[in-house]
Amino acid sequence: MKEYKKYRKRLPLSLLEEVKEKTKDMPEARVNKILKEVHKEYRKAKVQAGESVGLVSAESLGEPGTQMTLNTFHFAGVAEMNVTVGLPRIIEILDGRKKIKTPMMEVYLKPPYNKGKDIKKLALSIKETLLKEVMSEISVDLANSSIEIILDKEKVKDIGATAGSIVKALEKQAKGTNVKKKEDTIIIKPKSKENHVAEAYKLKEKIKNIYIKGVKNIKQVLPVKRGNEFIIITSGSNLPEILEMKEVDTSRTVTNDIYEISRILGIEAARAVVINEVSKVIEAQGLNVDIRHIMLIADTMCFSGDLKGITRYGVVSEKASVLARASFETPIKHIINAALVGEVDELNSVVENVMLNQAVPVGTGLPGLVTKIK
Amino acid sequence: MAEEEKEKKETEEKQEEKTPEEEKKTEEASEEKKEKEEITFSTRDFIFKKVESLVFGVSSPQMIKKMASAKIVTPELYDKEGYPVDGGLMDIRMGVIDPGLRCKTCGSKLKECIGHFGYIELARPVVHINFVKVVMDVLRGTCKECGRVLIPKNKIEKYKKELDKVQGETGLEGRRDAIKSILSSLKTINKCPWCKSRQQKITLEKPTTFMENEKKISPVEVRSRLERIPDEDLEMFGLNPTSVRPEWMILTVMPIPPVTMRPSITLESGERSEDDLTHKLGDIVRINQRLFENINAGAPEIIIEDLWDLLQYHVTTFFNNSVAQLPPARHRSGQPLKTISERIKSKEGRIRHNLAGKRTNFSARTVISPDPMLKLNEVGVPRIVAMKLSIPETVTEWNMEYLKEFVKKGVSEYPGANYIVRPDGKKKRITEETQEQLLEEIQPGYIVERHLMDGDVALFNRQPSLHRMSMMCHRVRVLPYKTFRINPSVCHPYNADFDGDEMNLHIPQTEESRAEAETLMEIHTQLISPRYGLSVIGCIQDSISGNYLLTRGFSMTRDDAVSLLYNIGIDDMSRLPNKKEIDGKEIFSVILPEDFNFTGKSRGKDKEGKDDVIIRKGVLNQGVMDVNSLGEEKGLLLRSLHQRYGDKRTIDILGKIFMLGTKFLTNHGFTTSISDTDLPEKAELEVKAILDKAEDDVNNLINLFHQGKLETFPGRTMSETLELKILEILNKARNKTGDVVAEYLNKNTGSSIMSDSGSRGGPLNLAQMAACVGQQAMRGKRIEKGYLKRTLPHFKKGDLTSSSRGFIRDGFKYGLTPYEFFFGAITGRDSLMDTALRTPKSGYLYRRLANATQDEKVEYDQTVRDASRKIIQFKYGEDGVDVSKSENGIINVDRIIQNIK
Q: Does B738 fall in a domain?
A: yes
Confidence of residue A24 (pLDDT cuts 50, 70, 90): confident
pLDDT, one tens digit per residue, over B155-170 is 777 777 877 777 777 7
Paired strand residues for A232: A107, A223
Nearest to B54 among A295, A320, A345 (CB): A345
pLDDT, one tens digit per residue, over A361-370 is 888 888 877 7
Entry pTM: 0.87
Is residue B746 domain-shared with residue B785, that is, in the same domain?
Answer: yes
Instruction: Answer yes or no: are the C-beta atoms of B58 and B243 closer than 8 Å.
Output: yes
Here the CATH number for the domain that contains residue B381 is: 2.40.40.20
Q: Does the beta-carbon distance from B531 to A311 stay under 8 Å?
A: no
User: For residue B779, is pLDDT > 90?
Assistant: no
Most confident of A108-117, B137-146, B187-196, B443-452: B443-452
Instruction: Answer yes or no: are the C-beta atoms of A215 and A238 closer than 8 Å.
Output: yes
User: For residue B5, is pLDDT > 50?
Assistant: no
- Say what the pLDDT of residue B477 is: 94
Nearest to B503 by CA among B538, B451, B539, B458: B458
User: For residue A319, is pLDDT > 70?
Assistant: yes
Chain B residues with CB under 8 Å of A19 CB are: 893
- Say what the pLDDT of residue B725 is: 83
Q: Does the beta-carbon distance from B51 to A358 stay under 8 Å?
A: yes
Quick check: helix, strand or coil at residue B33? Answer: coil
- Say what the pLDDT of residue B43 is: 46
Work out the percent of chain B whose per-residue pLDDT is above 90: 17
Is residue B587 domain-shared with residue B712, that is, in the same domain?
Answer: no
pLDDT, one tens digit per residue, over A125-177 is 787 877 777 777 777 777 777 777 777 777 777 776 777 777 777 777 766 67
Share in percent of chain A as helix, strand, coil (round to 5): 45, 15, 40
Q: Which domain holds residue B873?
A: 857-899
User: For residue B883, is pLDDT > 70?
Assistant: yes
Work out the percent of chain B whose per-residue pLDDT is above 70: 93
Q: What is the CA radius of gyration of chain B?
A: 38
- What does the pLDDT average to over A335-352? 86
pLDDT, one tens digit per residue, over B642-662 is 888 888 899 999 999 999 999
Q: Does B118 fall in a domain?
A: no
- Say what the pLDDT of residue B16 is: 37
Mutate one of B3, B11, B531 to test the A interface: name it (highest A CB count within 10 A). B531
- For chain A, the farthest-separated pair of C-alpha atoms sits apart, in whole angstroms, at 101
User: For residue B26, is pLDDT > 70?
Assistant: no
Q: Flag the least confident range among A114-118, B306-310, B721-725.
A: A114-118
Q: Does the beta-carbon distance from B530 to A56 stay under 8 Å?
A: yes
Structure letter (DSSP) for residue B206: T
Confidence of residue B33 (pLDDT cuts 50, 70, 90): very low
Q: Does the beta-carbon distance from B780 to A18 stay under 8 Å?
A: no
Is residue B688 domain-shared with residue B659, that is, in the same domain?
Answer: no
Instruction: Answer yes or no: are the C-beta atoms of B808 and B773 closer than 8 Å.
Output: yes
- Give dist(CA B845, CA A58) in Å, integer: 9
Q: Does the beta-carbon distance from A349 to B854 stay under 8 Å?
A: yes
Q: Does B428 fall in a domain?
A: yes
CA torsion sign for B143, B148, B149, B151 is: negative
Given B607, B637, B668, the domain boundary residue is: B668
Nearest to B886 among A45, A60, A335 (CB): A45
The alpha carbon of residue B13 is apart from the nearest alpha carbon of chain A, in Å, by 13
* Beta-carbon pairs below 8 A across chains A and B: 351
- Say what the pLDDT of residue B189 is: 61
- Give dist(CA B749, CA B210) in Å, integer: 84
Q: Does the beta-carbon distance from A56 to B468 stay under 8 Å?
A: yes
Confidence of residue B469 (pLDDT cuts 50, 70, 90): very high
Is residue B560 domain-shared with residue B448, that is, in the same domain?
Answer: no
Query: Where does B822-870 show beta strands of DSSP type E?
Result: 857-858, 864-865
Structurally, chain B folds into a number of domains equal to 5
Nearest to A355 among B58, B356, B849 (CB): B356
Is residue B443 domain-shared with residue B569, that is, in the same domain?
Answer: no
- What does the pLDDT average to over B241-259? 88
Nearest to A303 among B56, B716, B870 (CB): B870
- Say what the pLDDT of residue B518 is: 93
Q: Does the beta-carbon distance from B842 to A94 stay under 8 Å?
A: no
Chain A residues with CB under 8 Å of B171 CB are: 317, 337
Q: Please give the full DSSP string across B574-634, using - where no structure is assigned.
A: TTS-SSSEEEHHHHHHHHS-TT--EEEE-SS--TTS--EEEEETTEEEE----HHHHBTT-
Paired strand residues for B72: none
Q: Does B122 fall in a domain?
A: no
- Say what the pLDDT of residue B45 is: 52
Structure letter (DSSP) for residue B523: G
Confidence of residue B11 (pLDDT cuts 50, 70, 90): very low
CA torsion sign for B887, B890, B891, B892 is: negative
The alpha carbon of residue B643 is apart from the nearest alpha carbon of chain A, in Å, by 9
User: For residue B19, is pLDDT > 60?
Assistant: no
- Say what the pLDDT of residue B4 is: 45
Is residue B632 domain-shared with residue B719, that is, in the same domain?
Answer: no
A129-213: CATH topology: Gyrase A; domain 2 (3.30.1360)
- What does the pLDDT average to over B868-876? 90
- Say what the pLDDT of residue B378 is: 92
CA torsion sign for A237, A241, A247, A251 is: positive
User: For residue B436, is pLDDT > 50?
Assistant: yes
Is residue B803 domain-shared with residue B733, that is, in the same domain?
Answer: yes
The alpha carbon of residue B818 is apart from the nearest alpha carbon of chain A, in Å, by 28
- Give dist(CA B694, CA B735) in Å, integer: 12
The alpha carbon of residue B43 is apart from the nearest alpha carbon of chain A, in Å, by 12
Q: Does the beta-carbon distance from A348 to B868 stay under 8 Å?
A: yes
The alpha carbon of residue B365 is apart from the nearest alpha carbon of chain A, in Å, by 23
Q: Does B407 fall in a domain?
A: yes
Task: Give the Cβ contact number of residue B302 at 10 Å.
Answer: 8
pLDDT, one tens digit per residue, over B482-526 is 999 999 999 999 999 999 999 999 999 999 899 999 999 999 999
- Give dist(CA B898, CA B485) in Å, integer: 42
Is residue B442 domain-shared with residue B573, that is, in the same domain?
Answer: no
pLDDT, one tens digit per residue, over B83-118 is 888 888 888 888 888 777 788 888 777 777 888 899
Is residue B133 domain-shared with residue B224, that is, in the same domain?
Answer: yes
For residue A151, what is the enclosing H or E element?
A: strand A146-151
Q: Which CATH class is domain A319-365?
A: mainly alpha
Residue B181 main-chain phi, psi, to 5 deg: -70, -35
Buried b (16+ CB within 10 A) or exposed e, B512-524: eebebbeeebbbb
Residue B111 main-chain phi, psi, to 5 deg: 75, -15
- Give dist(CA B176, CA B172) in Å, integer: 6
- What does the pLDDT average to over B521-543? 89
Nearest to A45 among B52, B866, B885 (CB): B885
The larger pLDDT score, comparing residue B288 to residue B785, is at B288
Residue A311 main-chain phi, psi, to 5 deg: -135, 180
Q: How far is CA B230 from CA B143, B198, B222, B723, in A?
A: 11, 19, 15, 75
The larger pLDDT score, comparing residue B169 to residue B26, is at B169
Q: Does B404 fall in a domain?
A: yes
Instruction: Answer yes or no: are the C-beta atoms of A144 and A190 closer than 8 Å.
Output: no
User: For residue B808, is pLDDT > 70?
Assistant: yes
Confidence of residue B459 (pLDDT cuts 50, 70, 90): very high
* Cis peptide preceding B464, ω within 30 of 0: yes
Is residue B442 domain-shared with residue B499, that is, in the same domain?
Answer: yes
Q: In this structure, are strands B378-382 and B471-479 parallel, antiparallel, or unpaired?
A: parallel
For residue A146, what is the enclosing H or E element?
A: strand A146-151
Domain ranges of chain A: 5-45, 129-213, 319-365
Chain A nearest-CA residue for B519: A364
Quick check: helix, strand or coil at residue B189? Answer: coil
Residue B830 main-chain phi, psi, to 5 deg: -60, -40
Given B490, B523, B556, the domain boundary residue is: B523
Q: Does the beta-carbon distance from A54 to B878 stay under 8 Å?
A: no
Q: Please give the full DSSP string across B471-513, using - where no structure is assigned.
A: EEEEEEEEESSSSEEE-GGGHHHHT--SSS-EEEEE---SHHH
Is residue B459 domain-shared with residue B566, that is, in the same domain?
Answer: no
Confidence of residue A195 (pLDDT cuts 50, 70, 90): low
Given B636, B668, B700, the domain boundary residue is: B668
Q: Does the beta-carbon distance from B853 to A55 stay under 8 Å?
A: yes
**Average pLDDT score over chain B:** 84
User: For residue B38, is pLDDT > 50?
Assistant: no
- Give dist(CA B385, CA B363) in Å, integer: 9
- Give dist(CA A152, CA A147) in Å, integer: 16
Is residue B512 domain-shared with residue B417, that is, in the same domain?
Answer: yes
The alpha carbon of residue B79 is apart from the nearest alpha carbon of chain A, in Å, by 37
pLDDT, one tens digit per residue, over B342-361 is 888 888 888 888 888 889 99
Q: In this structure, are strands A220-226 and A229-235 parallel, antiparallel, or unpaired?
A: antiparallel
- Say what the pLDDT of residue B10 is: 42
Instruction: Answer yes or no: are the C-beta atoms of B102 and B190 closer than 8 Å.
Output: no
pLDDT, one tens digit per residue, over B659-668 is 999 999 999 8
